[in-house]
Structure 1
Amino acid sequence: MLTGKQKRFLRSEAHHLTPIFQVGKGGVNDNMLKQIQEALEVRELIKVQILTNNLDDKHEVAEALSTGAGAELVQLIGHTVVLYKESRENKQLVLPR
């Protein structure tokens, strides 16, 4: 579980990132979750865009992404989800205590 200070740090780190995944009309599926897990292992911090043609509630989509990928939900702002998961082999970010 992330503290407020850690979430604030991760939000500042994610500010300049562009979304690398998009959730469209098909919603969240197993293949997408597998790719997100792989991307999180490499990058640790990613953004996912929820497209306007997705009819699901954005909060449910964000929760499905974070639980399915085993990641922490850092932020949901507009239709953009920020996810963080500490990498086992490619550790890049050092979180504040």
Structure 2
Amino acid sequence: MSEALARELKALFARGADTPLPDGAFDALALRVFEHQHAHNAPYRAYALSQGRTPASVRHWTDVPLVPTTAFKALPLVCGAPAPAAVTFRTSGTTAG
């Protein structure tokens, strides 16, 4: 991730949920994150392309392709090399896994 984008995200997270971004600022940031993920996450890029979505075609954050939750169990949806899991959550048996 670019250092500028990482700094911007860290500053945003530090603000907390009680200080939301204005709509335009959120949209611009979401599009930058999508562009980064599209460039650096091969499984996500393949999924986005299968949906006909690229950074050039997505104009609003609501156009960014949403990944089904089941994909997170099947694919390494990370930008960069996956790190070993620090914590593993077990289910009560109500979900697969």
Give the TM-score category using the shorter length.
under 0.3
Larger helix percent: 2
Whichever of the two has the greater Rg, that structure is 2
Larger strand percent: 1
**TM-score, normalised via structure 1 length:** 0.27
